[in-house]
């Protein structure tokens, strides 16, 4: 759910491209999540308030719990969250978690998350890069769009295929550690 929340921030900021990287480093006992976008970015004042749960740019509600909750989840495992942003250049978030820490939340349904992102944002270019040790899975929506030609990427049959593709790819790189 954290990935959905962070990428929602990116889409509201007008991002046309969102890069998501997830690395499972068993040797260093770290899980590293990086999400970057080419959206509007934040000025220094907004960036300084981004971790405040009572600050949000959303008009619908008055609290912005996503980033503070993500930071807290990382800190519970000995990890941390860093956020960098520049107006007109986009935003980059990096979160580290203790991979084997008892309090680390499970990754959840990554195929479902990625499929949901693509279904709801067909015009955004998503790049997903997942590393587990020396094994890597990469998904780029621009590759699918090029092959699909006139078929929309959010067509139900395409989404079913993408979901299974991600599921198979993550299974292929899964760690035996």
Q: How far apart are CA 151 and CA 31, in angstroms?
A: 36
Q: Which domain holds residue 40?
A: 2-173
At 62, is the secondary structure helix, strand, or coil? Answer: coil
CA distance 41 to 18: 13
Average pLDDT per block of 10 residues along the chain, 177 residues long = 89 96 97 97 89 65 71 96 96 97 94 96 97 96 94 97 97 77
pLDDT of res. 143: 96
pLDDT at 51: 83
Please classify residue 25 by burial: count the beta carbons closer than 10 Å to its beta carbon, then call 0-12 exposed, 13-18 middle and 19+ buried. Answer: middle
| CATH at 31 | 3.30.565
pTM of the model: 0.90
Distance of CA 37 to the CA centre of its chain: 10
DSSP string, 108-143: --HHHHHHHHHHH-TTSEEEEEEEETTEEEEEEHHH
Give percent of the chain with pLDDT exceeding 90. Answer: 79
**What is the model's pLDDT at position 66?**
82
54-63: long-range pairs with CB below 8 Å, 24+: 57/12, 58/12
| Largest distance between two CA atoms of the chain | 47
- Into how many domains does the chain fold? 1
Residues contacting 175, CB < 8 A, separation 6+:
24, 26, 132, 133
Could you tell me if 128 and 138 are in contact, meaning their C-beta atoms sit under 8 angstroms apart? yes
């Amino acid at each position: 759910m954290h990935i959905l929340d962070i990428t929602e921030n990116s889409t509201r900021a007008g991002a046309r491209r969102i890069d998501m990287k997830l690395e499972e480093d068993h040797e260093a006992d770290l899980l590293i999540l990086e999400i970057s976008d080419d959206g509007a970015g934040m000025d220094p004042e907004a960036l300084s308030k981004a971790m405040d749960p009572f600050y949000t740019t959303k008009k619908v509600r008055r609290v912005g719990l996503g980033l503070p909750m993500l930071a807290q989840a990382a800190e519970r495992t000995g990890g941390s969250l860093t956020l960098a942003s520049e107006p007109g250049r986009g935003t980059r978030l990096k979160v580290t978690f203790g991979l084997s820490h008892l309090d680390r939340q499970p990754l959840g349904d990554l195929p479902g998350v990625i499929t949901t992102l693509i279904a709801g944002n067909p015009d955004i270019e998503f790049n997903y890069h997942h590393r587990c040790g020396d094994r890597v899975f990469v998904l780029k929506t621009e590759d699918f769009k090029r092959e699909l030609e006139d078929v929309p990427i959010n067509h139900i049959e395409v989404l079913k295929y993408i979901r299974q593709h991600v599921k198979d790819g993550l299974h292929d790189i899964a760690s035996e550690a």
